[in-house]
Amino acid sequence: MQVLSKIQNDIQWLEMNIERIKLPMNNEWYLCLVNKDADEAAKQMGSCFTIDQLAYFRAVVEKIGTHPPSGDALIADVNSMVLKNVVPMPASAAAAGSAGEPATQPAAAHAQKSKLSVVEREETLHKLASQGWLFMAREGYYTLGPRTLLEMKSLVLSTLSDEAARRLENDYM
């Protein structure tokens, strides 16, 4: 742990932090380098994802967070076919909706407005999983990965039930 403390001190000027999280799906600990300053420049320039992919990712996070988990799982794992059909709500429609409404709608409702094809959404899912943003819980099923749980903590906690959010914060973060 002394090495991690040294690295932590050395990277503070970058507004970065080393944090750890126990992933609920496999109960393994992960160390992540987390950006503490989530400004627009960091979000856009520090990402290898397009704006459309980022909007899709946010919709996927919301879909997984609001999907009922099976059994005693804390966070749902959602079939990739369901996630490939998630389409982010256009910004104008999201602004018009009430705060209690989800930011996604079924793909059929506004598929013509989607800027990512189904193939591009599938490629984005694979890319998100390979970078730790999503976690493939079992073949064809995704859940939230360690990077999402740490870097998008407030969004994740806002999508989960109160009980799941409390357990995640107390037992895993």
pLDDT of residue 109: 45
- pTM for this entry: 0.77
Residue 63 host element (H or E) = helix 51-66
Domain coverage including residue 71: 44-171
Query: Is 152 inside a domain boundary?
Result: yes
Asked if residues 25 and 71 have their Cβ atoms less than 8 Å apart, the reply is: no
Please give the tally of structural domains in the chain. 1
**Separation CA 30–CA 51 (nearest Å):** 27
Instruction: Say yes or no to pLDDT of 103 above 50.
Output: no
Task: Count Cβ atoms within 10 A of the Cβ of residue 65 and give its class: 0-12 exposed, 13-18 middle, 19 or more buried.
Answer: buried
Strands 104-106 and 86-88, how do they pair?
antiparallel
Q: Which CATH number do you get for residue 70?
A: 1.10.10.10
Task: Please indicate whether residue 107 or residue 37 has the higher confidence score (pLDDT).
Answer: 37
